[in-house]
Amino acid sequence: MKLLDGKTAIVTGASRGIGKGIATVFAQHGANVAFTYSSSSEAAIVLENELNAHGVKVKAYQSNAANFEAAQQLVANVLEDFGAIDVLVNNAGITKDNLLMRMNEEDFDKVIEVNLKSVFNMTKAVQRTMLKQRQGSIINMSSVVGVKGNAGQTNYAASKAGIIGFSKSVALELGSRNIRSNVIAPGFIETEMTAKLDEATVEQWRAGIPLKRGGSPDDIANACVFLASDLSAYITGQTLHVDGGMLT
């Protein structure tokens, strides 16, 4: 059963990791996928070709979601190419970790800009289209860190906590037009980035998780499919924790 048949989705930051997992599972469920990347053009082209094989329309766009004008232009291009936008997944994000005493202003500002302002930019850009359609699902990627905080990540935690407040407000503003806004808060997800950590550190993380494993991009992607599909038609303003029980 293809839960997203005929829907068109934008997924930001999808050339690798969680974003790639979301774009892939969306295509498998019948969604047409417009996805963005910042610099990994080779990986984006490979993914575009892979996903087109599912018999859906897929197109990669180089775009910086942290730039207001670029977000507006991206949405205009997607509308021209696809004709509709039913789902927006704000997944683009970066980290610049450091203790507060060592963190400089630039590292704080950059993380807020890429992680939080991009969500404003992209939501603002798709709002008009979704209002006209009188339907849409916006899914914003937060983090377990945005809920409980983490030493050495004041900038990242602030950006991810901000996403939760933003999403709840959007849910209140746009609910009457059948536009839903929800958050996914991933826990420890094993991707190319975590593969660079030493095995002892990874094992320590796994041991502290009730399900005794790290999550996969598919675990996040499946939650996104639920929130993007009509199965979640009466769910908005919520934060879904996909963390193996870390916050239990």
Listed by start position, the domains of the chain span 8-234
The Cα–Cα gap between 32 and 94 comes to 26
Ramachandran region of residue 13, left (φ > 0), alpha (ψ -120 to 50) or beta?
A: left
Q: Residue 198 has what pLDDT?
A: 82
Task: Give the span between the Cα atoms of 94 and 248, in whole angstroms.
Answer: 26
> What is the full per-residue pLDDT of the chain (248 aa) written as tens digits?
799 999 999 999 999 999 999 999 999 999 999 999 998 889 999 999 999 999 999 999 999 999 999 999 999 999 999 999 999 999 999 999 999 999 999 999 999 999 999 999 999 999 999 999 999 999 999 999 999 999 999 999 999 999 999 999 999 999 999 999 999 999 999 987 777 778 888 899 899 999 999 999 999 999 999 999 999 999 999 999 999 999 98
Catalytic: which of 37, 61, 156, 234? 156
pLDDT number for residue 107: 97
Comparing C-alpha atoms, which of 178, 184, 228 is closest to residue 7?
228
Which residues partner with 136 through β-bridges? 179
pTM score, whole prediction? 0.96
Is residue 156 part of the annotated active site? The answer reads yes
Q: What is the CATH number of domain 8-234?
A: 3.40.50.720
Q: What are phi and psi of 56, to 5 degrees?
A: -115, 165
Give the residue from 193, 188, 190, 183 showing the smallest Cα distance to 223.
183
CB count in 10 Å sphere of residue 147: 19
Task: Extract the tokens encoding 110.
Answer: 């950059």
